[in-house]
Structure 1
């Protein structure tokens, strides 16, 4: 099942999430205010739960096959990006402030177990910390595939909630990092995916209202500031996905080719944008672009280079790997 082609709004949300994170990192580097861009990660997590459920509910797949597909989709590009970032950071460390460039962190990053610093994961690819959570979720999801559909759903809900409960019981440690409440965003995506597969419907106006509410909550910086991330950005992300897919079920979605393309390129945009942003920044400094004008150029330039990476690295790589497999069951 090709989620991107069957549910157009999924690709649009992917595009929005990836671009939001790009703008967040650029604004952070230049001391600007766009903290809500970080919510792109939360949108990705909710989408991940939704996609994993929808693509496996009615298609028999075992744990090993599931993990193999996920590894093929995630690992090769991430390893290439990690190696490239490590080399550039060693050559130009001034552009990678506070990065841990030890060989141990390189190895740990490649296997989604990077070093921990300031109570957070710090892989070589800065934004790669989210993939550590993704892989942890995939392991739990793979175990669930041994169960029938209804029991699998409740196993996932119980497992993910138990993990988060453990966060408040465990002493601070490396293991405790993986029990952050943000894990609940995967569970929320699974719930929406199950509703979708069961044929649940929402009136179009209600679905659109949920999307609007999601955007409003994202923008409500001050009232939401004191809440934990899973509430501050996770709830709006859930509302956006819930509204988007059920609005599309009622009336379809407009075909926006460029946004569709950005959705397809969203993984490359997400993985490459920090490194490509560094490259663009170095170029701007060399040609003497004024500081005030740099953020816009960096955002657009890093996005453009990341798209090039999608076209000439990710897409050919995936094409080769998938052509070697007899019958790829889905693309996500």
Structure 2
């Protein structure tokens, strides 16, 4: 083979490898799965620690990591795989809504039977049906659904709608329009300070936009040296841990949104620079992260009651409740979420026209 032939072959191989990396499934980006599991577990620990008046406020930043990851996943999973806006929304509804409705119904029943065990939860007909439709009651200017942690899903669904609308545009226009729309929404927040308009234009939505930016850079096959990527990752975590102490009044999108973006960007680009074999447990926790997040408050209430009944020493209660709650919520992923989502997806594949009509 001539030198020119060898050069062409090497270029072709490099192009194919690069394309394979760009087209990598989100589920195969192991650092994203790990971060999803970490974020869900951090929120669990935050809520349980809060009940014990502990200092683990940083755990709430798991939500911000989730939002950045959501923007990243939506961009990476659609930019090179054209999907109709209706189809995209149907897939998101199948993924999010059924389990959320189940947990909302069970939480409402628990509040009705034992309201003293779910302090701070508000159950009323308006809030119940509003929660199901992602328009829960407002409390102190914030969204307050029956499933308290479900406020984040209201923002997720809003982001999905904006993202679905961007899919109606040509590929070249999509990124600019999407980021522009998110920025415009936040700009409107200065004039829409009351009720739902003010809530849904909160600057926290910029965390989705940040994830989209990271996803675009990833799909452009941008590469960072491993040490630089790790510096972003570690620096992001250090900022998460220190920003709350330095200025707890700092706007959340600055206090936790920017560090969360650095953590996600550092993780995915470090993995690109130095791929690694996945760890089964961490991958499982990532897959189960939605169930861990949505079930954990209800599960923790039950676990707490059982531990008190059996007289678990107070020194062990907090860690035990967190560990058992995460374990049970993860098990519910296998028992409830995975079979339910699989069933709904199979129905959707069999009757795609009906599914799109429903949207």
Please tell me the TM-score bracket, short chain as reference.
over 0.9
Q: 1:320, CA displacement in angstroms?
A: 1.1
Alignment partner, residue 158 of structure 1: 180
Q: Secondary structure at the match of 1:5?
A: helix
1:315 aligned to 2:341?
A: no
- 1:167-316 paired onto structure 2 within 5 Å: 167-220=189-242, 221-316=244-339
Q: For 1:245 and 1:308, how far apart are their aligned partners in 2? A: 27
Q: For 1:259 and 1:224, how far apart are their aligned partners in 2? A: 32
- Aligned CA distance change for structure 1 residues 324 and 247 (closer, same or farther; 3 Å): same
Q: 1:233, CA displacement in angstroms?
A: 0.6
Alignment partner, residue 74 of structure 1: 96
Aligned length: 328
- Aligned CA distance change for structure 1 residues 2 and 114 (closer, same or farther; 3 Å): farther
What do residues 5-37 of structure 1 show as CA deviations (whole Å, max 9, x unaligned)?
Answer: 321111001011000000000000110010000
Q: For 2:252 and 2:285, how far apart are their aligned partners in 1? A: 26
What do residues 253-294 of structure 1 show as CA deviations (whole Å, max 9, x unaligned)?
Answer: 342110000000000000000000000011112112233321
Q: 1:2, CA displacement in angstroms?
A: 7.6
Q: 1:89, CA displacement in angstroms?
A: 1.3
Q: Secondary structure at the match of 1:326?
A: helix
- Aligned CA distance change for structure 1 residues 171 and 212 (closer, same or farther; 3 Å): closer
Match of 1:38 among 51, 55, 60: 60
Q: Secondary structure at the match of 1:170?
A: coil
1:6 aligned to 2:33?
A: no
- 1:85-96 paired onto structure 2 within 5 Å: 85-96=107-118
Q: 1:99, CA displacement in angstroms?
A: 1.6
Q: For 2:32 and 2:322, how far apart are their aligned partners in 1? A: 23
Alignment partner, residue 123 of structure 1: 145
Q: For 1:117 and 1:324, how far apart are their aligned partners in 2? A: 38
Q: For 1:163 and 1:56, how far apart are their aligned partners in 2? A: 23
Q: 1:226, CA displacement in angstroms?
A: 3.3
Q: Is contact 1:217-1:224 (8 Å) kept?
A: no
Q: For 2:39 and 2:65, how far apart are their aligned partners in 1? A: 6
Q: 1:308, CA displacement in angstroms?
A: 1.8
Q: For 1:326 and 1:172, how far apart are their aligned partners in 2? A: 42
TM-score (norm 1): 0.96
Q: Secondary structure at the match of 1:116?
A: strand
Root-mean-square deviation (Å): 1.5
Unpaired runs of 5+ residues, structure 1, are none
1:53 aligned to 2:53?
A: no
Q: 1:159, CA displacement in angstroms?
A: 0.5
Unpaired runs of 5+ residues, structure 2, are 1-22, 352-359
TM-score (norm 2): 0.89
Q: For 2:68 and 2:306, how far apart are their aligned partners in 1? A: 36
Alignment partner, residue 62 of structure 1: 84
What do residues 58-106 of structure 1 show as CA deviations (whole Å, max 9, x unaligned)?
Answer: 1111111110000000000100111111111111100111221101111
